[in-house]
Amino acid sequence: MSPLLSVTGLSIAVEDTEVVHGFDLTIDPGEIHAIMGPNGSGKSTFVNTLMGHPKYQVVSGSAQFHDQDLLAMEPAARAKAGLFLAFQYPKEIAGVSLRSFLFAAYKSQMTARDPSIKSISPVKFQKLLEEHMQKLGMDPAFAERSLNQGFSGGEKKKAEVLQMSVLSPSLALLDETDSGLDIDALKVVAEGVNRLRSPEFSAIIVTHYARLLEYITPDHIHVMIKGKIVDSGGKELAQKLEKEGYAPYGVKE
């Protein structure tokens, strides 16, 4: 079985300064990986580069996703291929309801997997959306609000979990999605990921703290320091980091 994602020797620059150096990572279908590290270690740079953010320049290396050259694909093509990015700071879009946004995204991204979805009616999509919202314990009226406008931090994360649930990506990139969340919102994010967990769903969870990993058990945990993976392990590694921080890796916090 081929890996879902295979990253080899990836080096990334921001404004001509290299911040990720020779990064290697392999994710098999159904695996959850967590990348932990202090602020400025290159974690967000890595996942944003996978999604195709123009701010980040690939210096060298390769990334294969579903046996395709991911780095040669436009961001929209990456999304249609099954890649999803949950932003650390989701953008607000005034005048566009969450429902309308998701309807357009669903038809655009899912058509690549099933051409019949292009003709899905607004009524059928509304029913589909309400089913997903019910599973997440969300009020259907929430979908009529302008995307992220006036949302609390927790509500923005709930909206992204809903998007992830509806779009069913094969690989979700969660970029410090636990940042600033209270315990209830954190559980919503964790429950959303755990509900999707299957051989058809994988995720990269980027986080600074081990708190989220109390509710999601990853298959692999990686420690990223100064643009490189310096350690990897299982859940016990997250527990070690919670106790000792990043001082054993020469980082002063």
The answer to whether the CB of 198 falls within 8 A of the CB of 164 is no
User: CA-CA distance, 178 to 185, in Å (whole number)?
Assistant: 8
Residue in this structure with the two tokens 């643009």, named with its chain if needed: 227
pTM, two decimal places? 0.91
Q: Residue 32: is its pLDDT beyond 70?
A: yes
The whole-number average pLDDT for the span 160-165 is 91
Residue in this structure with the two tokens 């429902």, named with its chain if needed: 99
Q: Residue 180: is its pLDDT beyond 90?
A: no
The answer to whether the CB of 184 falls within 8 A of the CB of 154 is yes
Instruction: Count the Cβ atoms, other than its own, within 10 Å of residue 94.
Output: 9
pLDDT tens sequence across 231-242: 999 988 988 888
pLDDT tens sequence across 91-109: 888 899 999 999 999 888 7
Instruction: Count the Cβ atoms, other than its own, within 10 Å of residue 33.
Output: 21
The whole-number average pLDDT for the span 129-136 is 90
**Domain 5-249, what architecture?**
3-Layer(aba) Sandwich (3.40)
Residue in this structure with the two tokens 């890996």, named with its chain if needed: 3
